[in-house]
Amino acid sequence: MKKVIVGISGGVDSAVAAYLLKKEGYEVEGLFMRNWDSSVNNDINGNPTLNNDICTQEEDYNDALKVCKKLGIKLHRIDFVKEYWDYVFTYFLDELKKGRTPNPDIMCNKYIKFDMFKKEAEKLGADYIATGHYARIKDGKLLRAIDQNKDQTYFLSQVSKKQLSNVLFPIGDYVKPDVRKIAHEQNLIVADKKDSTGICFIGERNFKEFLTNYLPNKPGDIIDIDSNKKLGEHVGLMYYTIGQRRGLDIGGNDKRLYVVGKDLDKNILYVSLGDDTKYLQTDEAVIEDINFISDLRPEKCTAKFRYRQNDIDVSIEYLENGNLKVKYDNVKSVTPGQACVLYLGEECLGGGIIKEVRKNGKKLWYL
C-alpha cells in the first residue's frame, strides 16, 4: 500500500483530497503546516509587536484535527515559520520596496509547499504528497483543473518538474460545488467553511496597517501625468498597483482616476484622468526567473499575466540570457513583479516574473 502525506490546511479542499485518497486505498496521513506566527508581528527593526488581528491559525489546526479524526487518519504538525520568512515574506517585502507587485502565493508553493513540505513528508515515509490544489497531473504534465474558475496552475508556475514528481492533486477532476457536496456527505466539519483569502498563510488583514510593521510609510506627491499638476498625497508607493482606481483619496475625481506608474527616486505616484488605454496598454513584456515545467518551447501559445485573466495569445522570443520576450496585442495593466504564466491548450508550460513592459518597442518610463 502506497503512503500519501496530505497537506491538511483546515479547509474543505484538503479535507476532501484526503478523503478521496483514502477511498482509493492509499495509506493516508495528514501534515499541518504552521508558516506564520500569528501571535506577533515584527516591526521594521525586527522587534516583536503585538498583533491584534483575530488569529485563525489555531482554529484551522483544530479543524484539521477534527477532519483527520473523522477520516481516521493521523495528523502531524510542522513549523516552517523561519523558512516562510526567509524565502517568501522577505521576497514579498523586497519586491514592494522596488515598487513592484509581487505574488507571494507563487513563491510559497515553490519554497514551502513543494520543497520544505515534501522533504518533511519523505521523512514520514511518504511515497507521494498531495494537496488540495485545483490542478491535474497527467503523464508528467501539469494540466488545468476541470473547474476553470478555481484552476490554480497559475500559482504552481514556479514549481519545478522534479518537485511535481510524486505529487497528487485529488480534487483537480472536480468542480468546487461537488467538493463541498462530498464534504457534506462525509459529515466533514469544514463542508461550508469559507475559502481562505489574503496573503498566503497570513490571511485577511488591513493591508496598510499590516505592512507598517515591516516597511516605513513614505508619503509623497500624487501627480497628474498629463498636466504635471499635484492632485494630492499618497501614503506610500507600496500600497498602490498599476491600474488601481479605488482608494486614491483624491476628492472629486476619484471615480475617473487610475494609477499609471511610480517614480521610486522622486517618490511620486502618477495618475491619469484620461483614457486608460493610453497609459495602461502595452504590447510586449520581458519575463525573468523563467521556470519551465514542460519540455515544450513553443513560439506561440497563450499566457495569463494575472490570476483568472482570460488567456491571451502571445508570441515568444527566447533570449540568450534566459529571459523571454513575450509579445501580445494591446493588453492593459501588465505589471512588473506579477507572474506571466504560459499555456498550450490545457497544459501549463511554466512561467516567470514580469521584469518590464514595453509599447512599440520602448520601455515605459513610468512603469
44 and 80 both lie in a single domain: yes
270 and 331 both lie in a single domain: no
- In terms of phi and psi (left: phi > 0; alpha: psi -120 to 50; beta: otherwise), the region of 61 is alpha
Cell triple for 135? 490542478
Give the whole-angstrom CA distance, residue 262 versus residue 237. Answer: 7
CATH of the domain at 84: 3.40.50.620
Give the whole-angstrom CA distance, residue 166 versus residue 260. Answer: 44
Does residue 132 register a pLDDT over 60? yes
157 and 92 both lie in a single domain: yes
Please indicate, yes or no, if residue 134 is contained in any of the structural domains. Answer: yes
The whole domain housing 231 covers 217-274
Does residue 353 register a pLDDT over 70? yes
Report yes or no: 161 and 296 within 8 Å, Cβ to Cβ: no
Percent of the chain whose predicted confidence (pLDDT) is above 90: 77
Pairing of strands 27-34, 3-7: parallel
Report yes or no: 244 and 250 within 8 Å, Cβ to Cβ: no
What's the Cα-to-Cα distance from 237 to each of 47, 105, 166, rounded to whole Å?
24, 21, 42
Q: What is the pLDDT of residues 184-210, one digit of tens each?
A: 999 999 999 998 765 665 655 566 777
Please indicate, yes or no, if residue 212 is contained in any of the structural domains. Answer: no
Pairing of strands 339-344, 347-359: antiparallel
How many domains does the chain contain in total? 3
307 and 179 both lie in a single domain: no
Please indicate, yes or no, if residue 327 is contained in any of the structural domains. Answer: yes
Average pLDDT over residues 155-183: 98
Q: What is the pLDDT of residues 291-347, one digit of tens each?
A: 999 999 999 999 999 999 999 999 999 999 999 999 999 999 999 999 999 999 999
Cell triple for 278? 493610453
Of the residues 234, 254, 274, the one at which a domain ends: 274
pTM here?
A: 0.91
Give the whole-angstrom CA distance, residue 259 versus residue 269. Answer: 7
Give the whole-angstrom CA distance, residue 242 versus residue 288. Answer: 19
> In the prediction, which pLDDT does 78 show?
96
CATH of the domain at 354: 2.40.30.10
80 and 152 both lie in a single domain: yes
244 and 303 both lie in a single domain: no
Number of Cβ within 10 Å of residue 165's Cβ equals 11
Among all residues, which ones are annotated catalytic? 108, 200
28 and 74 both lie in a single domain: yes
288 and 172 both lie in a single domain: no
Place of cell 497544459: 347
Mention every residue, 6+ apart, whose C-beta is less than 8 A from residue 52: none
Please indicate, yes or no, if residue 103 is contained in any of the structural domains. Answer: yes
The average confidence (pLDDT) of the chain is 91
129 and 65 both lie in a single domain: yes
Please indicate, yes or no, if residue 195 is contained in any of the structural domains. Answer: yes
Please indicate, yes or no, if residue 246 is contained in any of the structural domains. Answer: yes
Of the residues 243, 258, 274, the one at which a domain ends: 274
87 and 198 both lie in a single domain: yes
47 and 134 both lie in a single domain: yes
Does residue 44 register a pLDDT over 80? no
> In the prediction, which pLDDT does 253 show?
55
Q: What is the pLDDT of residues 237-254, one digit of tens each?
A: 998 999 998 878 776 555
Per-residue pLDDT band at 53 (split at 50, 70, 90): very low
Phi first, then psi, for residue 237 (nearest 5°) are -60, -30
Cell triple for 75? 495528523
